[in-house]
Amino acid sequence: MTTRTRILTGITTTGTPHLGNYAGAIRPAILASRDSNADSFYFLADYHALIKCDDPLRIQRSRLEIAATWLAGGLDVDRVTFYRQSDIPEIPELTWLLTCVAAKGLLNRAHAYKASVDKNVEAGEDPDAGVTMGLYSYPILMAADILMFNAHKVPVGRDQIQHVEMARDIGQRFNHLFGQGKEYFTMPEALIEESVATLPGLDGRKMSKSYDNTIPLFSSAKDMKDAISRIVTDSRAPGEAKDPDNSHLFTLFQAFATAEQSAEFRSELLQGLGWGEAKSRLFQLLDDQLGEARERYHQFIERPSDLEDILQLGAKKARAVATPFLNELREAVGLRSFVSQVQVTTQTKKKAAKAARFVSFRDEDGSFRFRLLSADGEQLLLSNNFADGKTAGQVSKQLQSGQPLDVRSEDLGFGVWLDGACVAQSPAFADNAARDAAIDALRVALTPAQD
């Protein structure tokens, strides 16, 4: 049976999606989700959004718009697990468990934190001015997102590779401290898509909200047409040959057209197609491809209860994985029910009562000695006198180390020898049979228990 690869994708919930977001991230991710060998998890990273945004209305609106965008774009919630990060209470709890094992030195090296510190130092400010614990511990929350679902692959941009590596480091640390031979966390790998489309904006720079040069994805057809009309072009008039290879407009067209459509459009530009008509062709292409999705998007926006139902079902699927797993992790770190703890303690005590045990004591002359008592409380051995407790303890530990015993019969008793010297002796027994039975009991008592 082939193991499905679990892929986890976090979706930032700030801002309204634009055409560049769709071509560069949303469309390829939705296509990837249809791979039958992939077990895909997609989540709205709304806890992360709180790090950068303190406007509640913007957070709420962005979550709504981004959820509607992915669903309208064709994400099949029957094939994938689609949920809001904030609907999974196990994630912040896991974040704390991981915080308790994450090294501060590791977090000091996080790119976002270092960039903030460097900026403050350059400005002559306190190094940590304006740095919140949200920003500082962001990598731990991201690690919890990834490790909670034991994702094998995490699609990220190059600026996020470090965070996936940090998730590995933190997960390995937890496994080492609490695993006791069990690997609770799978080590994730960053999945870098080398061919991610980067679309130019209206002014030719990378399409970005920070440049205010975006083309809206699912706003009205009129808004899209108005935005396209503002694409910067050169001054060549209709009838003059255009240069498709240096045209932002052609790059945008090519990102959504078939090879045949691109070739035809290229030819027309070379033959002198006017920029006004070229923009009209681009709008028509985008409207044809995105029109139905736009309608679905607005239906979701107008009926947020439908979105809520979908996300709650997604949260239920996600928690079916997260809840039992977190219970395992709680057990691993010692956050257990008192009832189970009492049961474990009782069982341990019962086992201890049936086992042989060493008892150390100080003799009247001030020397140190130990006894070995059988499971029934019968004295099997009494050590020689030792000048100090450390030596007596070392001898006792050596007898319990599991190494072969040098037991020598002495009339109706026996002695135990270490390094050529007798270190402990038994009492005298009634007969040889009783002595031999005691020797057998001694060997059993000093044989390490097998799991």
Residues within the annotated binding site for L-tryptophan?
145
The encoded tokens of residue 269 equal 């530009």
**What are the helix (H) ranges across 241-388?**
248-256, 259-270, 275-302, 304-333, 338-353
Nearest to 148 by CA among 41, 32, 30, 25: 41
The Cα 100–Cα 107 span in angstroms is: 13
Q: Nearest Cα to 323, choosing from 333, 315, 335?
A: 315
Indicate the annotated binding residues for ATP. 12-14, 20-21, 157-159, 199, 206-210
* Annotated binding-site members: 12-14, 20-21, 145, 157-159, 199, 206-210
Report the C-alpha gap between 68 and 3 in whole angstroms: 31
Give the whole-angstrom CA distance, residue 296 versus residue 307.
12
Q: Which residues neighbour 287 within 8 Å (Cβ) at sequence distance 6 or greater?
A: 221, 224
Looking at 122-218, which runs of residues are DSSP E strands? 153-155, 189-191
CB 7 within 8 A of CB 191: yes
Pairing of strands 81-84, 38-45: parallel
Burial class (CB in 10 A: 0-12, 13-18, 19+), 365: exposed
- Taken as a whole, the chain contains a residue count of 451
Which residues are 191's β-sheet partners?
155
Q: Taking every pair of C-alpha atoms in the chain, what is the biggest distance, in angstroms?
A: 122
Q: How far apart are CA 292 and CA 296, in angstroms?
A: 6
Cα–chain center distance at 41? 12
Q: Cα separation of 198 and 191, whole Å?
A: 17
- Kind and range of the H or E run holding 360: strand 357-362
